[in-house]
Amino acid sequence: MKTDRVNWLSVLQFGLGALSILISWIGALIFFTVGLFSIISGKGVHAAVGDPLRLFTMAAVYIAIAVLTFPSTYYALWRVLNLQAFDLRPLLNRVKPTFWITPFILLLLVGYWISSHSALAWFVFPLMHLLAVGLPVTCILIFTIRSLPLGSAQRIWGIFTSGLLLAPSMAFVFEGLVGVGFLVCFVLVISRDPNLLDQLSSLAEWMQKANPTPELLVERITPWLVHPAVILSALLMIAVVVPMLEEGLKPIGLYFLTKKRISPAAGFVLGVISGGAYAMVESLMLVSAGQQWVYMMVARIGTAIIHIFTSGLIGWALVQARNKRGYARLGLSYFASVSIHGMWNALTLFSTFFYLAIRNGFTLPYDIIYRLGLSAPFGLVFLAIGTFIILLKANRLMGHFRERKIQTPVQQP
């Protein structure tokens, strides 16, 4: 008697999706409950349990993660049950990315205004935050993958969910371990300098007694942040280690497809989708308000472009390595992705150091750091625009190769 083989990859996809949905709803409930407690208890406990605006926004973020994870879980379950699932891919052709540029600008203005009105912001701003993150990433993805082979809906959403959940979770763990290593090295250095040790003890005692606001805390620790050793360590961690880890982990869903025969264009598409999901969840977790929120949402568009391009490049190279044993090309693509990502992070870091030093009246240790911090915003804009143009070129190039392959007649032996 013949029996259908169990698709264990679909079983795993469904299990991870269902578990993620459950955890996300629990997280949303916790943040929402703590937010209500903060409102009921009054402003006196906001510093202890958190600002209600941030808590409700985080609750909305977890709900959004559960919703975004549902399609992958749905398609995986229907595949396990051998049922015909509804195909959402045709809906992508109806989305016009350029239409959303003006609504996005209005969204930022409304979100900025609402965040300054506490009672209204608690329940409206979370939706503004979700849209301000989701719209740009979705539009960039559509610009990048239109007219390219998408593959099955289950594969698309599975790759999206892996970039949304699996890759960030693993990156968080590995980056945390590396961060602990940096912290141990920092403690060893501090322990050999009694003066620095006394300053650190004094800072810790002040934090415990004063219960400072984030702004006051940043002002107090800025002299530490602009120390040459701290700048060098931050650059090594954020501009080297983090890109190396993230670029290897972002297309993690593609690693499960190494035995599948897919085209390089499909590998590019899947990498792009995974990178977009990674950028989306990373931006969703960065919750702020007011003018800072507007700046952050605009800046995160550039970050999304970088994540999408570098992940798409590695996805293309992975398939090339699988199909043609082009491992040298894969190595070069990984190096290029890490370099672009590292350059973006380094410019962001220099800009942050420059802003902190100028705002709090401190002098940066080296003139080169001052100059890099001053020019960093222009470098970020140039890098984001240049990368987006390359993405559009890559879309046309992948489509050209695909059309040429289809039109080329198969040679008969």
Range in 45-54, 83-92, 391-400 with the lowest mean pLDDT: 45-54
> For the segment 225-259, what is each residue's pLDDT rounded down to a tens digit?
666 777 788 888 999 999 999 999 999 988 888 77
SS3 letters for 202-221? HHHHHHHHHCCCHHHHHHHH
Q: How far apart are the first and last CA of the chain?
A: 39
Return d(Cα 20, Cα 209) in angstroms, integer. 39
Burial annotation 87-115 (CB, 10 A radius, 16+ → b, else e): eeeeeeeeeebeebeeebeebbebbbebb
Which residue is it, tokens 């602990």? 180
> For the segment 9-48, what is each residue's pLDDT rounded down to a tens digit?
888 889 999 999 999 999 999 999 988 887 777 654 444 4
User: In this structure, are residues 56 and 31 in contact, taking their beta carbons and an 8 Å threshold?
Assistant: yes
Phi first, then psi: give them for residue 364, nearest 5 degrees.
Answer: -70, 145
Of 266, 276, 366, residue with least CA distance to 322: 266
Measuring CA to CA, how many Å separate 12 from each of 18, 80, 251, 299, 352? 10, 10, 17, 36, 41
Give 3-state DSSP helix, strand, coil % of the chain, rounded to 5. 85, 0, 15
Alpha carbons within 13 A on the beta-carbon side of 408: 8
Q: What percent of the chain has pLDDT over 70?
A: 78
Q: Is the pLDDT of residue 406 over 90?
A: no
Cβ burial, residue 291 (10 Å; 0-12/13-18/19+) = exposed
Phi first, then psi: give them for residue 79, nearest 5 degrees.
Answer: -70, -40
pLDDT score, position 185 = 78
> For the segment 203-232, what is each residue's pLDDT rounded down to a tens digit?
777 766 666 666 666 666 766 666 677 778
Q: What is the dihedral of CA 246, 247, 249, 254, to 10 degrees?
A: 160
What's the rounded mean pLDDT across residues 117-134?
A: 81
User: In this structure, are residues 242 and 264 in contact, taking their beta carbons and an 8 Å threshold?
Assistant: no
pLDDT score, position 59 = 93
pLDDT score, position 169 = 93
Contacts of 315 (CB under 8 A, 6+ apart): 251, 254, 267, 268, 269, 270, 271, 272, 274
Return d(Cα 356, Cα 364) in angstroms, integer. 10
DSSP 118-174: HHHHHHHHHHHHHHHHHHHHHHHHHHHHTTS----HHHHHHHHHIIIIIHHHHHHHH
Confidence of residue 3 (pLDDT cuts 50, 70, 90): very low
DSSP state for residue 50 in the 8-state scheme: -
pLDDT score, position 104 = 74
Helix locations, 251-366, DSSP H? 252-255, 264-284, 290-324, 327-360
Confidence of residue 87 (pLDDT cuts 50, 70, 90): low
